Structure 1
Amino acid sequence: MGFFDPSTGEYFDPSVDRRVVLITGANSGIGYYTALHLYLHGYVVYIAGRTESKVLKAMEDIKEESKKRIENSSEQSSKKIVGELHFIKMDLQDLSTVVKGAEEFKAKESKLHILVNNAGIMAVPFEQTKDGYDVQYQVNYLSHALLSFKVLAELKAVAQEGKVEPRVIFVSSLAHASFKNGYEPGDLIKKTPEACFSWIRYGKSKMAEIQFIQRFAKENPGILGLSVHPGIIITDLYQYWSNVPVVGFLFKSSFWAIGKVAGVSSEQGALATLRAAMDPGLTIENDNCRYFSTGGTDAKSLKASHDKNYIDRLYTWTIEELENKGFLY
């Protein structure tokens, strides 16, 4: 199967069939293009982000880009009804704001058709959040796990209608292969050198995403759970290591070379997420817990990501941590 074609996804009129999406970190990169295509298909898109000005700017850019694409595309010419764009304030480095953001969303919408856990940071130096976790682990995984729990009722409301199957998507990474034999979920991995272990911590967070969605989908059988690897994309996520003296030059040169050979654009990187969100052929019965790679192509995650022992330990640890801090009750 080739790259997913977003035009094969269904188009909606939000005044007739309101399809609601909540996506984190969509003011740039693959999240931006994910939100753009969903908006073009008539989805009501809520973008959760830390900095309101950046998200509002991205929303204006999406509206302008949508106008251009509709005007220049014969395929889009008969489908000029677009969706809606809304901002939700949420800082994934602070679990309390995840709860507040979820409550803000719930006050506006009673149903959620698609949750896209997209936001992430990559290979940054070790830093402990105010909640006591490695910053990569919290931003990439734990905050998204909490968000998934907090909007579960709205996802179930869609499932109970019986018209469509709600979807929860984690934007993971091939970097999950850093952990061939699993890991202890509570291990902060403070080891140095950072040039090595910052990437290992990143891989740990991405493994957790794949493992979590499998148990989450099992516990909530009316929800389609999926994870994706967007591909090799040279974005500002690499900014830290690109700016380190001496090492940064080598790092930037290496990734530039890799990007030229095997890299994809941010829009192409969004195709894996878009297939998971919009492919009308995906069902819980046949596709639950599938993993898609670059362009939305079929792929398999590492064997350890399917290890029931590690999955169950992670899920139990996650719930206990969030309950002990008062975020789940």
Structure 2
Amino acid sequence: MGGTILFTGANSSLAIPAVRHLLTNYSDYTALLTVRNPSEADVNTKKLRDTISLFPNAKTSIRQLDLSDLSAVHDFSSTVAAEIVDGKLPPLASIVCNAYYWNLSGNAELTKDGYDKTFQVNHLAHAALVLRLLGQFGSEGGRIVLLGSDAHWPGKGSLEKYPPAIPIDLELLVKPVQDKPTDNLGRGFEKYSNSKLAVIMWMYALNRHLENDTTLSKITAVAINPGNLSDSRALRTNTPQMLAYMSKFIISPLRPLLRLKDPTMRTAAEAGIDVVDLAMNKASPGERGYFTLLKKDSSSPDSNDEEKQKELWIKSAEWVKVTNDDTALKVALE
């Protein structure tokens, strides 16, 4: 029994209660928890450490991982793979791609790799991580959990001004054209929505390849819309002051009423429990695909375009510089 569950963005408002749930209910697993800043000076990482301290016998490791740096992602993947081969870590049971980024209040940002930061952190870095580590799952398989959002579906995002869409020229996803002057809120949310659309489309392509690979077919991938999280720090990070104000004084206090209109309105802690139960194959064991909360669901029509999924799959591997030699998948990535 047991195995390693790798959780990115492990000090987020969803992840900290998720880690508590994991350590409480799946104590025979090893939690490999990545954060951008592992320092005690980081208030959110300190909260993560405080949570872990409640479980003195837990098998945990906090690691630094900056998803805005693809070289760091590749180095981290190589290190984890080597530790599993050497027996320092148990084989993977799950990868939870939880970390996210958005910027709704400032100009667009490029990473040192030259890609849009939102798209790289939310999709590309996780794609590289998953592809590099597929060969480190145990013989019983496991599960990959990607974080989706209803924002991927045109008309469903409450902050949507520009509908999400995969452009004909895929390069526009990593190097979007800027408005002059820039509509930071509208374009920032568009980048976030497009990244979540890409996550879901890539998940479908990944599942097809996994199902057709005899050595990896026991690994399942899901993308979960965790709901509209009324107490998420996302509403107060890189957002206009008005949105942060609404989060604190309107959305959180009125959550029970807002839930009558939006059944997915809930707390980050509730979402964290669902994410872990999916990751550990307790919820919907063996299932693949898109989920809203813990209910199997249909994603947007655009996300189900198989030709675009294939194009995005190949281009994503090209962007992150993962080749056939870098992944256990027996499928051409070029």
Question: Structure 2 length normalisation: TM-score?
Answer: 0.77
Q: Distance in 2 between matches of 1:31 and 1:278?
A: 15
Q: Distance in 2 between matches of 1:195 and 1:57?
A: 30
Counterpart residue number, 1:277: 279
Any idea what the Cα deviations from partners look like across 1:42-94, whole Å, max 9, x if unmatched? 12010111111247634432234458xxxxxxxxxxxxxx6411022210111
Counterpart residue number, 1:12: none
Alignment of 1:221-300 (within 5 A): 221=211, 222=217, 223-233=219-229, 234-240=231-237, 242-244=239-241, 249=245, 255-256=251-252, 259=255, 261-262=258-259, 263-280=265-282, 282-284=284-286, 287-289=287-289, 291-294=290-293, 296-300=294-298
Counterpart residue number, 1:72: none
More helix per residue: 1 or 2?
1
Counterpart residue number, 2:68: 93
Structure 2 residue 134 is matched with structure 1 residue 152: yes
Aligned-pair identity (%): 22
1:202, CA displacement in angstroms?
A: 0.2
Any idea what the Cα deviations from partners look like across 1:21-57, whole Å, max 9, x if unmatched? 0010111311122222222211201011111124763
- Relative distance call for 1:311 and 1:65 in structure 2 (3 A) is same
1:256, CA displacement in angstroms?
A: 5.0
Any idea what the Cα deviations from partners look like across 1:157-189, whole Å, max 9, x if unmatched? x2xx2xx33111101111111456533432133
Unaligned segments of structure 2, at least 5 residues:
86-90, 155-162, 212-216, 260-264, 328-334
Match of 2:186 among 179, 184, 196: 196
Any idea what the Cα deviations from partners look like across 1:290-310, whole Å, max 9, x if unmatched? x2223x233221121111011
Match of 1:136 among 101, 118, 124: 118
Structure 2 residue 120 is matched with structure 1 residue 112: no
Kindly tell me the number of residue pairs found equivalent between the two proteins.
288
Return the letter of the residue paired with 2:284: L
Q: Is the 8 A contact 2:14 2:269 kept in 1?
A: yes
3-state SS of paired residue (1:132): coil
Return the letter of the residue paired with 1:201: K
Q: Distance in 1 between matches of 2:285 and 2:135?
A: 20
Match of 1:52 among 7, 16, 38: 38
Question: Structure 1 length normalisation: TM-score?
Answer: 0.78
Counterpart residue number, 1:23: 7
- Relative distance call for 1:249 and 1:58 in structure 2 (3 A) is closer
Q: CA RMSD in A?
A: 2.8
3-state SS of paired residue (2:228): coil
Q: Distance in 1 between matches of 2:307 and 2:267?
A: 36
Q: Distance in 1 between matches of 2:280 and 2:309?
A: 27
- Relative distance call for 1:254 and 1:203 in structure 2 (3 A) is farther
Q: Bigger CA drift: 181-190 or 305-314?
A: 181-190
Return the letter of the residue paired with 2:171: G
Q: Is the 8 A contact 1:165 1:283 kept in 2?
A: no
Q: Distance in 1 between matches of 2:50 and 2:322?
A: 41
1:324, CA displacement in angstroms?
A: 8.2
1:198, CA displacement in angstroms?
A: 0.5
Q: Is the 8 A contact 2:277 2:283 kept in 1?
A: no
Q: Distance in 2 between matches of 1:35 and 1:249?
A: 28
Q: Is the 8 A contact 2:94 2:143 kept in 1?
A: yes
- Relative distance call for 1:324 and 1:119 in structure 2 (3 A) is closer
Return the letter of the residue paired with 2:124: L
Q: Distance in 1 between matches of 2:209 and 2:190?
A: 29
3-state SS of paired residue (2:208): helix
Counterpart residue number, 1:305: 303
Q: Is the 8 A contact 1:113 1:166 kept in 2?
A: yes
Counterpart residue number, 2:166: 182
Q: Is the 8 A contact 1:49 1:89 kept in 2?
A: yes
Q: Is the 8 A contact 2:146 2:199 kept in 1?
A: yes
Q: Bigger CA drift: 99-108 or 246-255?
A: 246-255
